[in-house]
């Protein structure tokens, strides 16, 4: 009888151990399933593009638009593409809970990088994402890496020529100070590093040189003041090495020089300046030896976005009463202005963000 009780006890203990072992395995399986479902739901949440096609045109223009509803309220910004004369338009993203604020083609034209307030920080910057042309493989680039002020956010990201890195700017320190610095990060979200460390400057990224060696940026000085103590307009264009050294500066105190964009070949830049007393659009060869006035009095605001694939035209956002009223293409030689603003019927706020090179 004692033997039977002994074996019964041993057998019961073995059963209990097996039960708990199976229970642990069961909960591990449940945990794995939940993780898979979590990421699956996350992908579905930000699966914002519905088309399974590639770009509609070899030199497609990306633009962002917000349409008014029947009550006169603007919806969220969504991403579109169009051809050069705006005769064909296709909407690329449709998720009203995932607004798109900026986007740009990758150098090889196979991916799109974009920013959204989803995942960003209120009062600071957006989160940065990449996706394939068909809307698949949406990935958040920035990760929490220990920055106290504003982790995982950035503004106006640009691709490196080999599409292996991106450069972007980020608010550093108190937002009210307006300080921005430039950062680099690998496209897989690894190896983030700060490029500039200026205390009283706002440094923004606008382009990456075609040889991959330099970052073209816009710098605003928050220190220089006039005789009455007011801050002077003092925005300049700067060229940075990948170590953060300033190699070249274009501009002068009391005027605005900014929004620089490399030509497709990389031998010229387009930019805006107020050196003639009002904002105008210029182009110049690298080095700042001389510049050429392209457009001035037609609008009061110019924002060069991109050069055409053949470098003969420049895509711009322009305005008279506000910053983004029309989208135009300017012929560099003839100075002819072509209005390509989509949705001419009105009730739409739209601005261009990128021009795809031909592939």
What would the pLDDT profile of 229-266 be if each residue is shown by its tens digit?
666 667 899 999 999 999 988 887 778 899 999 999 99
Q: Name the burial class of residue 73, with classes exposed (0-12), middle (13-18) and buried (19+) by CB atoms within 10 angstroms of its CB.
A: exposed
Within 8 A by CB and 6+ apart from 267, the residues are 285, 286
The answer to whether 306 and 316 are in contact (CB under 8 A) is no
Q: What percent of the chain has pLDDT over 70?
A: 73
Ramachandran bin of 191, using left for φ above 0, alpha for ψ from -120 to 50, beta for the remaining angles: left
Q: Which of 67-71, 182-186, 220-224, 268-272 has the lowest mean pLDDT?
A: 220-224
Please answer whether residues 318 and 328 qualify as being in contact, where contact means their C-beta atoms are separated by less than 8 angstroms. Answer: yes
Residue 57 structure tokens: 């045109």
Tens-place pLDDT, residues 33-61:
433 333 333 333 455 544 555 555 567 99
The closest alpha carbon to 91, from 109, 101, 100, 78, belongs to: 78
pLDDT at 235 (0 to 100): 87
Q: Looking at residues 130-148, what average pLDDT do you find?
A: 76
Residue 112 pLDDT exceeds 70: yes
pTM of the full structure: 0.80
Which residues lie closer than 8 Å to 25 by C-beta, 6 or more apart?
none
Given this model, what pLDDT does residue 130 score? 94
Coil, helix or strand at residue 14: helix
Q: pLDDT tens, 13-40?
A: 454 455 445 555 554 454 344 333 333 3
């Amino acid at each position: 009888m004692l033997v039977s009780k002994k074996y019964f006890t041993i057998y019961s203990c073995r059963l209990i151990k097996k039960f708990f072992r199976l229970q642990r395995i069961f909960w591990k399986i449940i945990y794995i399933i939940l993780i898979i479902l979590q990421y699956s739901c996350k992908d579905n949440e930000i699966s914002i593009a519905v088309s399974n096609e590639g770009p509609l045109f070899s030199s497609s223009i990306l633009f962002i638009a917000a349409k008014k509803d029947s009550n006169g309220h603007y919806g969220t910004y969504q991403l579109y593409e169009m051809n050069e004369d705006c005769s064909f338009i296709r909407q690329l993203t449709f998720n009203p809970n995932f607004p798109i604020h900026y986007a740009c083609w990758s150098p090889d034209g196979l991916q799109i990088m974009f920013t959204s307030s989803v995942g960003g920080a209120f009062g600071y910057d957006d989160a940065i994402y990449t996706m394939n042309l068909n809307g698949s493989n949406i990935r958040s680039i920035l990760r929490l890496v220990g920055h106290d002020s504003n982790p995982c956010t950035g503004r106006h990201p640009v691709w490196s020529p080999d599409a292996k890195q991106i450069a972007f700017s980020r608010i550093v320190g108190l937002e009210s100070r307006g300080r921005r610095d430039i950062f680099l990060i690998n496209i897989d979200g690894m190896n983030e590093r700060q490029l500039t460390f200026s205390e009283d400057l706002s440094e923004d990224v606008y382009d990456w040189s075609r040889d991959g060696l330099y970052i073209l940026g816009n710098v605003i000085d928050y220190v220089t003041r006039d005789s009455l103590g007011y801050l002077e307009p003092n925005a300049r264009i700067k060229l940075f090495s990948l170590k953060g050294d300033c190699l070249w500066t274009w501009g002068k105190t009391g005027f605005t020089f900014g929004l620089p964009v490399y030509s497709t070949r990389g031998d010229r830049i387009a930019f805006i300046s107020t050196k003639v007393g009002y904002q105008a659009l210029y182009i110049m060869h690298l080095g700042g030896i001389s510049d050429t006035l392209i457009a001035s009095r037609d609008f009061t605001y110019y924002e060069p976005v991109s050069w055409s694939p053949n470098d003969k035209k420049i895509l711009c956002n322009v305005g008279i009463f506000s910053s983004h009223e029309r989208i135009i293409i300017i012929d560099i030689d003839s100075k002819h202005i072509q209005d390509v603003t989509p949705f001419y019927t009105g009730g739409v706020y739209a601005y261009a963000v990128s021009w795809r090179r031909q592939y």
